[in-house]
Chains A and B, each alone.
Chain A
Amino acid sequence: MDGPARTTETTPSLDRETIAQFGPHLAYAKDARLDSGVEPDKYVKTHCCFCGQQCGMQLKVKDNLVIGVEPWYEFPFNKGMMCPKGIKRYLQQAHPDRLLHAYEKDTASPGGFKTMAYDAAIRKTAGEIERIQATYGRDAFALLSGASLTTEKTYLMGKFAHMCLRTANIDYNGRLCMVSAGAGNKKAFGIDRAANPWDDILGADVILVSGANIAECAPITTNYVWQAREQGAKVIVVDPRITPIARTCDLFLPVKPGRDTALFNGILHLMIEHDWIDQQFIATHTVGFDAVAAEVREWTPQRTAEVTGIAVKSIEQAAEWWGTAKTSFLCHARGLEHHSHGVQNVLSAINVVLASGRIGRPNCGYATITGQGNGQGGREHGQKCDQLPGGRDLANPEHRGYVAGVWGMDPADLPQPGVDAYEIIRKIDRGEIKGLLSLCFNPVVSLPDNNFVRQALEKLEYYAVIDFFMSESARYATVVLPGSLQEEDEGTVTQTEGRVIRINKAVECPGEARPDWQIIQDIAKALGREQGLAFASPGEMFEELRLASKGGIADYSGISYERIEKNFGVFWPCPSEVPDGVAMPGPQGTPRLFEPGSWNPVAKGAGPFYFPDGKARLNVTAYVGPAEDVDEEFPIILTTGRVVSQFLSGNQTRRIGPLVDHCPEPRIEMHPRLATRLGITDGDWATAESRRGNCTLRASVVTTIRPDTVFIPYHWAGRKSANQLTISAQDPISKIPEYKVCAVRVRKADAPPAYADSLEPQQ
């Protein structure tokens, strides 16, 4: 294909008007937020909404305004520490861009929307759901939900889809985040949760960090890693970039993007060759070792080096350190998982953990680092397309029967599993889905190949968006309903360690805005299908969630709000009942999984892992390259990721002045050897093009990235969006998109982009 398709150089003029009307504009502290003489009415102990660590913090509240933040030193995970996003998150509340009314699309109005009475917006949405489902079938109306919601809301969204709308098509934005880790964990361990509390990092001899930009994406975890190193741990980092956590690591493995399975196969090859494996653990607690050993036999250091671009001596050093360690912790994040073979990557990493036998013990651990503000809880209780509460499966008759019983409905009326978030967009494009409601999802920025996404959204007959700001996706909506910020509602979230924690309400929703769960219930009521969707509070939802999750793998039945508050959180699984002779979890629940002798509802005492025989699975991980490799036409690898001052699609953080000032706009990061070849110097405008789109940004020329790879952070919208370039290839199992590898060409831009003069950096 010659050049990019479907891209115009300027955004539609309506978009400019919408930006003028609804932002993103920048908020800075002023008035009561700047006046040190103002005494807060209250300090609300709660947690950060930006990232999966969900650090404890106290919000300072005066007259229904969050005026600032105060460290919560007692909360054990972060002990008062906060990253810049946490410190400035209060500026999203009472923001000038905050939606105070419902809106409906009206091209004659400024910004393309006019206000609408809340009740009318609810009635219209219910009417359109009714019409679309009656005309095209129930599955023609889809829901997109999010993992930055409280767990109560995610539970409600699943119930709304499966019981009220009875549509198969609900999925969530964790599809872009946690699903490869989740699927890998389920295949290997039978359970999808970090296996260890973070304190186990502190006692590890070797810490292997794979595809996790810890310092920028999980900043507080930095202190755990470096505290371990103070005590003698060796830190190995696998990344195509020398990120801040890699800067001082003991061994850096500069993997070529998309080649991680090859690396872990190569490490396991050496572990087996040198007998750096725990044969007794493998024999007693695992299944599948021989087949995996046969697979990795061909992964000699030489071949591994050829595929991964990592020197033989570094691969040997990593294998030796990992292989001979007494204690260890392996963690990974999206760098390993955002691939069309993300599940294979995860399984190959788990193989080296299982072969070492170092899991289920103090200081011997494994975890994926959760990305979103409820990335763990948001993936457990039924808003995934194939899932029911408690981590149950929508395709499993026994699970359907149990949940239908809790909900008071016929299991036969539950839909069958639907499709993933990106396939929902494809179905919209094909005309199979005609109506959509989204909450906590900004697909126009966050999904790959977003020129296609925009084109699809324009085909919808009806699109309702619940949001607190006019996100870039909301601009495509027929109706926008004003939802709630995290600080305007209460509930629970589950942070990266699997610790269920309390979100406390700090302020009331402004104007006509409502807690999201009330909006959903109002729609159900307007549909005349409010049965099971008439909760009076998040607390009532949580009580039902306890029951709905009971006996499942993600068992919350023993957790209560009171127990959470008393113990600084409770780690699931936390059953309310266990068989005779089995010890109940302690007050903090189950901080560490897979401990010897532990009981779970699948193995029923046969062993510590969540399979009927109690054994973990080693999975054969054949190396498969990325979906789109470089070629003559597109010779450079593009990889994408985050910066520390922004969160996800930036719908919140691109409105917070001090965070935008830290990193105002995305840049194309490239090595000087590549830059010289392209005739680009630091600060030049450069254009990156893929087969799907192009993007002109300033270049950042640094030696901290592989010379065959460029990096663009993905938090920005419109013509600054990295996802104009990315590929919608997905993992066949997890359906995660391949954000971390696609092929591009880069050239010095002929002129500054059209947006440079007319848009502010965050817009």
Chain B
Amino acid sequence: MPVPDALEFFIDPGRCIGCQACIQACTECDTHKGQSMIQLDYVDRAHSTQTVPVVCLHCDSPTCAEVCPADAIKRTEDGIVHTARKPRCIACNNCVLACPFGVPKMQTEMNLMMKCDMCYDRTSVGLKPWCASACPSQALAFGTREEMARLRPHAKPVNTFQFGMQTIRTKVNIMVPRDSAVEIVDVTAAMHEPTIGHEMLDDVFEPGPDRGDA
């Protein structure tokens, strides 16, 4: 059974608390038990507890599949990009190097590329993926667009990303402020933007003339 069109995946990094429930949950997934396919990192722990979880974004035209010389990576009609098919995968690592989001993982001991398949065993029978089921802050959420609009009135889903010359549309959405003009997340441009907010954080603990601490 395909994953129903109405049900979508939403990533809201602003909500992430870094608890790693998603990573632990991912290792419970029956399609790759014992292995987490999620990337969760601190952005800059020296200055913030901000963490960002990354699952497979499930591209409309998956770069991983496009660069696969063995045609091992399949995208089903419901938009899910699957782990490489074992008989075909030659463990060449092309997909790992090419994916702009850094999603596929090479399991050298198995000679196989593995990646998030949005818990196909669950989502194809109407259940939520493991990570979005468990996520205590619902930074990873799975549901309908209408539900999300109701639950997150200040955010909107965006699913187009720019990496230099490459524009990528994905099945998975990322939440951005609703009032922002952003329709495309320009990832490479963002890498060159100065980080903001550190000065504000320092200020929180700055001794001021109106308080007693030193």
Contact = CB atoms under 8 A, between A and B. Distances in A.
Interface in B69-97: none
A703 B152 contact: no
A601 interface: no
Given A215-B19, A242-B201, A248-B14, A312 B210 contact: yes
A610 to B, nearest CB: 33
A643 to B, nearest CB: 10
Interface string A424-468: 000000000000000000000000000000000000000000000
Contact of A245 (B17, B45, B153): B17
Interface stretch (B53-61, B98-106, B131-139, B185-193): B131-139
A222 B12 CA distance: 14
B66 to A, nearest CB: 29
Nearest to B29: A36
A375 B133 CA distance: 26
A29 interface: yes
B21 to A, nearest CB: 5
A247 B197 CA distance: 11
B211 A310 contact: yes
Contact of B204 (A220, A252, A307, A645): A252
Nearest to B134: A82
A442 B154 CA distance: 46
A731 interface: no
A84 B205 contact: no
Contacts of B34: 28-29, 34
Interface string B6-35: 000000001101111101110110110110
Contacts of A87: 21, 24-25, 28, 134
A672 B213 CA distance: 16
Contacts of B33: 29, 34-36
A88 B134 CA distance: 12
Interface residues of B, number: 45
B212 A242 contact: no
A588 interface: no
Given A216-B19, A707-B205, A36 B30 contact: yes
B19 A644 contact: yes
A71 to B, nearest CB: 4
Given A248-B14, A703-B46, A222 B27 contact: no
B144 interface: no
Interface stretch (A225-233, A356-364, A742-750): A225-233
B20 A662 contact: yes
Interface string B196-214: 0010011011001011111
Contact of A216 (B17, B138, B152): B17
B47 A84 contact: no
A322 to B, nearest CB: 20
B17 to A, nearest CB: 4
Nearest to A80: B133
Interface string A637-674: 00000001100000000000011001000000001100
Contacts of A69: 28
A227 B151 contact: yes
A247 B48 contact: yes
A219 B204 contact: no
Nearest to B33: A36
Contacts of A35: 33
Contacts of B46: 672, 682, 701-703
Contacts of B204: 242, 252, 254
Contact of B24 (A84, A227, A307, A705): A84
A220 B136 contact: yes
A707 B204 CA distance: 11
B214 A708 contact: yes
Contacts of B213: 256, 309, 706, 708
B111 interface: no
A175 B50 CA distance: 34
A215 B20 CA distance: 11
Nearest to A310: B211
B115 interface: no
Contacts of A242: 48-49, 201, 204
B128 interface: yes
A81 interface: yes
B106 to A, nearest CB: 20
A81 B133 contact: yes
B157 to A, nearest CB: 14
Contacts of A223: 136-138
A136 interface: no
Given A309-B211, A701-B46, A704-B201, A84 B21 contact: yes
A242 B134 CA distance: 24
Contact of A305 (B27, B198, B210, B214): B210
A83 B136 contact: yes
Contacts of A317: none
A305 B211 CA distance: 5
A68 B30 CA distance: 11
A401 B13 CA distance: 58
Given A87-B21, A703-B201, A706-B205, A243 B134 contact: no
Contacts of A248: 14
A80 B25 CA distance: 12
Interface string A594-612: 0000000000000000000
A469 B198 CA distance: 45
Contacts of B19: 83-84, 215-216, 219, 244, 644-645
Given A81-B136, A254-B205, A658 B48 contact: no
A109 interface: no
B20 A71 contact: no
A595 to B, nearest CB: 28
Contacts of A645: 19-20
Contacts of B27: 29, 658
Contacts of B208: 311
B17 A222 contact: yes
Contact of B17 (A73, A244, A252): A244
B210 A226 contact: no
Contacts of B45: 702
A183 B57 CA distance: 50
A663 to B, nearest CB: 9
Interface of A: 28-29, 34-36, 68-69, 71, 73, 80-84, 86-88, 215-216, 219-220, 222-223, 226-227, 230-231, 242-245, 247-248, 252, 254, 256, 302, 305-313, 644-645, 658-659, 662, 671-672, 682, 701-708
11 contacts: A36-B31, A80-B134, A215-B18, A226-B137, A302-B210, A306-B212, A307-B212, A309-B212, A311-B211, A703-B46, A703-B48
Given A252-B204, A682-B46, 4 more contacts: A219-B17, A226-B15, A305-B210, A313-B210
